[in-house]
Structure 1
Amino acid sequence: MSLRTVETQRHITVRAHDGLRLAATLVTPATTARRAVLMLHGEGATREQDGFYPRLASDLAGRGATSLRLDLPGHGESEGRQEELSLSGLLNIIGAGLAHLRENVPDTSVALVATGLTGGVAAGYAARKGPEVDRLVLLNPLIDYKEHFVDAQPAWTGDFLDEPAARTLSADGRLALSPTFAVGRAMLNEVFWLQPRGVLGMIAAPTLIVHGAGPTDVPVESSRAAADALTCSHRLVEITGPQRDYWQAPVIRVATDWIIADN
């Protein structure tokens, strides 16, 4: 009688470039890894991404891929505060995660999976550090940071923060955008200048964009425009209709197939 092989899951710590200790989960397949995958969650979530990332990690392990998912600073069990997050800091988090995978899973190609907030940053990283990213998966990617954090917020008018919100920011060092996520001055200043959409055409890694992978404030038009801007091999998948209530299974299937593909 054959034995069923299962993946191994370990809770570990990944050190960021600035010394922060980030809580992470490393999932390894029972066989020799064919791929390595770094998973980045969205704003206000954790490395579990509402239960989706563990399912994706298990499916990937079944197809021979090691995965690493981590809590962003100020999220879950990681050190740091949300208001200290910056887009540059998130780029370095990606770098630290990829370095950990290269050290522990050598001689494998690496895929990057990012949801929401981290989508635009992941795209920017892939554009600038092309040799480090073999394949890219963006789920409900937030590409237009200024639109999200400034233009769409009632506390901003003409690119200036109103007086009540400015007082709150001065007193607390943060502005709450939702019950689970707050931003600080670093992020609010960076979004005026760092625009991932402008570098999408530089991405070389085959890129999958999935829109409708769970609830999202990102408009579908943003994902469509991102797909149109790509010059690499790419695909846009829109989860619509009845699938919206049961999105995890189809997204896991299409994401895993994209990551494991040989070309």
Structure 2
Amino acid sequence: MNRIITDDNVNISFKHTRSNVACSSICILAHGITVDMTEGGIFDRMAAQINDIGIDTLQFDYRGHGNSDGKSKGMTIAGEVLDLSAVFNYCDNIGYRSIYLLAASFGAVSTSCLPFYYKKKVDKLILWNPVLNLKKTFIEPLLPWGKESFNKASFEKMNETGSLFIDGEFEIGAALVNEFYLYHPEDQLKEFDAPIMILHGDKDTYVPYEVAKDCSESLDNCTFKTIAGSEHGFGRIEDEEMVVNSTIAHLKS
């Protein structure tokens, strides 16, 4: 597996796939929390479709995920920003003239919080079911998934042990939870000049749909597409087809 080294010396696992034609464009795919660069398989299928239209792709594992260095307990938003920045540097060094970015779920947090320098390098941005309000997703969760893992009992236990478990399995540390109070992705998303497309299922029980919709309406450069009846992750075949087709259309526009 290929490796990129971040500024804080973390080895990040990645997969760089070239299209069948010579091109100067690449799409970076940033996955969500608890998963890896495949995003449950949908990123692999999406990358293949992107390659078919003549755009290279780069998938990677954030630190503490997949085959990258680090434990999940040590992951932080600041660390994920360093990971994504290192991926941008890699693409820059190759000489790509156009960089597109697709972020799913929690991947939208590090995307939104990228340094201004990298935001200006993004030519098109696509967000799937994005986490844009950390308070409403984790600290005072509005939806069932968040309430199950982020509640009074789990926070009290975290204060004792330093750990909190998402879905009872994926261990995160107090440092990440503390960051939930400090970062505001919905505000930092406004720093992108590139055309943005947000796709969100209106039956999402993980990440608030209305937050993403409201955020899109505050941005002049953003279009919002509702995936009717879809849960988080676009699990139904028809949902995935709609998301993939919309993503391809945005990249080709």
With the shorter chain as reference, the TM-score category is 0.7 to 0.9
> Structure 1 stretches of 5 or more lacking a match?
1-10
Indicate yes or no: 2:131 matched with 1:134: no
Which of 221, 231, 235 is the aligned partner of 2:223? 235
Contact 1:113 1:138 in 2 (8 A): yes
In 1, Cα distance between equivalents of 2:213 and 2:188:
16
SS of residue paired to 1:80: coil
Instruction: Quote how far apart the aligned CAs of 1:250 are.
Output: 1.6
TM-score, scaled to structure 2: 0.87
In 2, Cα distance between equivalents of 1:112 and 1:69:
11
State the partner residue of 2:161: 168
Indicate yes or no: 2:237 matched with 1:259: no
In terms of mean alpha carbon deviation, does 246-255 or 47-56 score higher? 246-255
Contact 1:140 1:213 in 2 (8 A): no
RMSD: 2.3
SS of residue paired to 1:125: coil
Instruction: Quote how far apart the aligned CAs of 1:121 are.
Output: 2.4
CA deviation digits over 1:201-248, x for unaligned, max 9?
A: 33211001010299650121011012012132x211111148862222
Residue correspondence of structure 1 range 69-88 to structure 2 within 5 A:
69-88=59-78
* Alignment-mate amino acid for residue 165 of structure 1: M
Identity of aligned residues (%): 20
* Alignment-mate amino acid for residue 224 of structure 2: L
TM-score, scaled to structure 1: 0.84
SS of residue paired to 1:22: strand
Which of 209, 229, 232 is the aligned partner of 2:198? 209
State the partner residue of 1:151: 140
* Alignment-mate amino acid for residue 57 of structure 2: S
Which of 241, 245, 251 is the aligned partner of 2:236? 245
Instruction: Quote how far apart the aligned CAs of 1:129 are.
Output: 3.4
* Alignment-mate amino acid for residue 50 of structure 1: G
In 2, Cα distance between equivalents of 1:213 and 1:44:
22
SS of residue paired to 1:183: strand
State the partner residue of 1:67: 57
State the partner residue of 1:178: 167
With over 3 angstroms needed to count, the CA separation of the structure-2 counterparts of 1:175 and 1:240, relative to structure 1, is same
Instruction: Quote how far apart the aligned CAs of 1:249 are.
Output: 1.7
Indicate yes or no: 2:79 matched with 1:89: yes
Instruction: Quote how far apart the aligned CAs of 1:124 are.
Output: 2.9
In 2, Cα distance between equivalents of 1:202 and 1:144:
16
SS of residue paired to 1:17: coil
In 2, Cα distance between equivalents of 1:214 and 1:120:
21
* Alignment-mate amino acid for residue 260 of structure 1: K
Instruction: Quote how far apart the aligned CAs of 1:255 are.
Output: 0.8
* Alignment-mate amino acid for residue 228 of structure 2: T
* Alignment-mate amino acid for residue 66 of structure 2: G
Contact 2:199 2:226 in 1 (8 A): yes
In 2, Cα distance between equivalents of 1:131 and 1:56:
24
With over 3 angstroms needed to count, the CA separation of the structure-2 counterparts of 1:203 and 1:126, relative to structure 1, is farther
Contact 1:126 1:203 in 2 (8 A): no
In 2, Cα distance between equivalents of 1:132 and 1:140:
23
Contact 1:41 1:116 in 2 (8 A): yes
Q: Which structure's CA Rg is the greater one?
A: 1
> Structure 2 stretches of 5 or more lacking a match?
142-149
Indicate yes or no: 2:11 matched with 1:21: yes
In 1, Cα distance between equivalents of 2:240 and 2:8:
34
Instruction: Quote how far apart the aligned CAs of 1:55 are.
Output: 1.0
* Alignment-mate amino acid for residue 205 of structure 1: A
In 1, Cα distance between equivalents of 2:92 and 2:10:
19
In 2, Cα distance between equivalents of 1:40 and 1:110:
13
Instruction: Quote how far apart the aligned CAs of 1:100 are.
Output: 1.0
Residue correspondence of structure 1 range 217-232 to structure 2 within 5 A:
217-232=206-221
Contact 1:200 1:229 in 2 (8 A): no
CA deviation digits over 1:145-203, x for unaligned, max 9?
A: 1332322222279xxx43x331122xxxx211224433212212221121112223332
